[in-house]
Structure 1
Amino acid sequence: MKKNAKAFLERNRWLKAVPNSLTLCNSLCGFAAIINTLRACDPSLPLSGASCPSILATSAILILFAMVFDALDGFAARILNAASMHGIQMDSLADMVTFGVAPATLVVIMTRSLPGYDSRFFYIVWALAAVYLGGAALRLATYNVHAMVEKKSSDKFSGLPSPGAAAGICTTVIYYNHLGMEIRYLAVILPIYCALLGILMVSKIQYTHFAKWLLSLKRNKKRLLIVVIILAAACWKLELTAFAAVNFYILLGLFAALGRKTGLLRTPVEPAKEAK
């Protein structure tokens, strides 16, 4: 069967372009998210009937949609035996746009639109978003370096993966739009949270490899039950469930690390690998 598959790929060399095409879709989603986010600065926006939170929520959805392409390009590369250093470099460049520049831009523009925002603090907001952007750049560069050396696969990541950091921002933006009400001090909390995510990306805190965690569901009934509960909750309140699940994942790694540091949590720590 492997010989037949290999022969099929030899006859259809165009399939080798599928992973890179998916990576391009990832970057295009990120670019579209940035352009759409900048629409929120349009002075004629109120006259168009669109609201700033709804536009920013659309940008957040575009970034989340890009994560589908990000997952599929790696899967396609393995299935089609099309993995290459060119593909790895291209993937990281796309991720820098989608999970680095786009979320940072989203935070800056959204903060400006929030009640309680003071224009005197624009440069502070910019600096906090820059911490996130720098964290994403350093993480993706480190991933590229480690990708050049084959390493044993691990169920843990060293530091928060860039898609996870972007998801933290996006689900927050989407949930805020869903609430349709003002949240006090969000103009202060959001930029600080953004900077924290940037620091977590370059930290040594261990995070579960979510894709491998999902693949273990057949062998682990407890994990399967967790997924069923999350899906049921999503059917009830999708925006709240997504916000809670993503931020729980982010904070769990942080609190687990603090627990190990203080001795409150004594669990074996396995070597973790770098992730994008």
Structure 2
Amino acid sequence: MTEKRQRRRIRIRDRARIQSGLSIVPSLFTVGNIFCGYYAVIATLRANYDYAAIAIGVGMVLDMMDGRIARLTQTDSDFGIQLDSLADLVTFGVAPAMLAFKWGLSSTAGLEANIVQHVNQLGWLSTFAFLVCGALRLARFNIQTKKPPEAGSRRYFVGLPIPMGAGMIAAVVHFFKTPVLLVGSALLWSLLILLIAFLMISTVRYASFKEFDVKKPRPRIVLFCTAMLIALVIFYSEVVLLVLATIYLCSGLVTKLIPLASRFAHTVRKVKVEEPRVVGWHA
């Protein structure tokens, strides 16, 4: 009996050591995410805008991996959640806000000083709104994770996730590369940033893909399409990433607007049916 107990204690101790060692792995990915955000800020200050956009994209990949690795190894903790939120605020809040301002709202040339000043002020406002809304989105997400999950809530996010908002900014910069020089383009850029900021704090639902289990076997067609998508991202990253980011951004709006449009159409039909018929006078 004593030998069995001793062996059991050794097994428990070895498992604890392995578990403690595995708990570091997700945090390493989170630290890598922070580094990507820091590098994106430095690259933005040096006017290497495409490198900054790529760094934000790499940070998105690391952000997706650290959570999945923590769940697979059963090493998720409150410390990891808080560290991940801080990393997200740096990489997907501060870095894209600076990139959006420097790339699209501070390089207008050949204009009057008064116009340039107004464009810069609009840039400060829109990018700061993006940063604040991103912080609010992260705070709301942290509160929601502590509540008991509702039925089907794992299938969607409430509000645009801040990594996808940052990904949209990075995809646009990666596609065009050359900084914005026209006032009209700068105004459109500001409107897009404000739209992203609004969607992050809205109640629009976006697909989370959390129920996609990597360990489950997939049909060959799914594997083939995944491989083709990865190849397209590698060879045609500018176009493919912008298309994917735009589709995801619009998906929540479409799913929100379709029920509203159907209810509006139903109300209009109901009003037309209930309208009293007016009998005209005939000579």
Report the TM range for the smaller structure's normalisation.
Answer: 0.7 to 0.9
* Alpha-carbon separation, structure 1, partners of 2:45 and 2:174: 17
| Aligned with 1:143 (options 116, 141, 144) | 141
1:80 positional shift: 2.5
- SS of equivalent residue, structure 1 residue 210: coil
1:164 is matched with 164
1:9 positional shift: 4.0
* Alpha-carbon separation, structure 1, partners of 2:124 and 2:243: 26
Contact 1:217 1:223 in 2 (8 A): no
- SS of equivalent residue, structure 1 residue 157: strand
1:201 is matched with 200
1:52 is matched with none
2:57 is matched with 64
Letter in 2 for 1:25: G
1:183 positional shift: 7.8
| Aligned with 1:113 (options 83, 91, 107) | 107
Contact 2:40 2:53 in 1 (8 A): yes
1:22 is matched with 29
- SS of equivalent residue, structure 2 residue 76: coil
Letter in 2 for 1:171: A
1:255 is matched with 254
Letter in 1 for 2:66: D
Q: 1:116 to 1:237 in 2, by over 3 A?
A: farther
1:176 positional shift: 0.3
* Alpha-carbon separation, structure 1, partners of 2:264 and 2:64: 32
Q: 1:260 to 1:90 in 2, by over 3 A?
A: same
Contact 1:217 1:224 in 2 (8 A): no
Q: 1:150 to 1:189 in 2, by over 3 A?
A: same
Per-residue CA deviations over 1:192-248 (Å, capped at 9, x if unaligned) read 111111110111111111354585996689977865664565466331111011111
Q: How do 1:204-219 residues align onto structure 2 when only pairs under 5 Å count?
A: 204-212=203-211
* Alpha-carbon separation, structure 2, partners of 1:148 and 1:31: 29
- SS of equivalent residue, structure 2 residue 154: coil
Per-residue CA deviations over 1:161-207 (Å, capped at 9, x if unaligned) read 11111111101000002x89978832221121111111101111111
| Runs of 5+ consecutive residues of structure 2 not aligned to the other structure | 1-9, 266-283
Q: 1:81 to 1:229 in 2, by over 3 A?
A: closer
1:154 is matched with 154
Taking structure 1 as the reference length, what is the TM-score of the superposition?
0.78
- Is residue 93 from structure 1 mapped to residue 86 from structure 2 by the alignment? yes
Contact 2:154 2:211 in 1 (8 A): no
Q: 1:239 to 1:157 in 2, by over 3 A?
A: same
| Runs of 5+ consecutive residues of structure 1 not aligned to the other structure | 41-54, 267-276
* Alpha-carbon separation, structure 2, partners of 1:197 and 1:181: 19
| Aligned with 2:126 (options 125, 128, 135) | 128
1:15 positional shift: 2.4
Letter in 2 for 1:10: A
1:149 positional shift: 2.4
Q: 1:212 to 1:239 in 2, by over 3 A?
A: farther
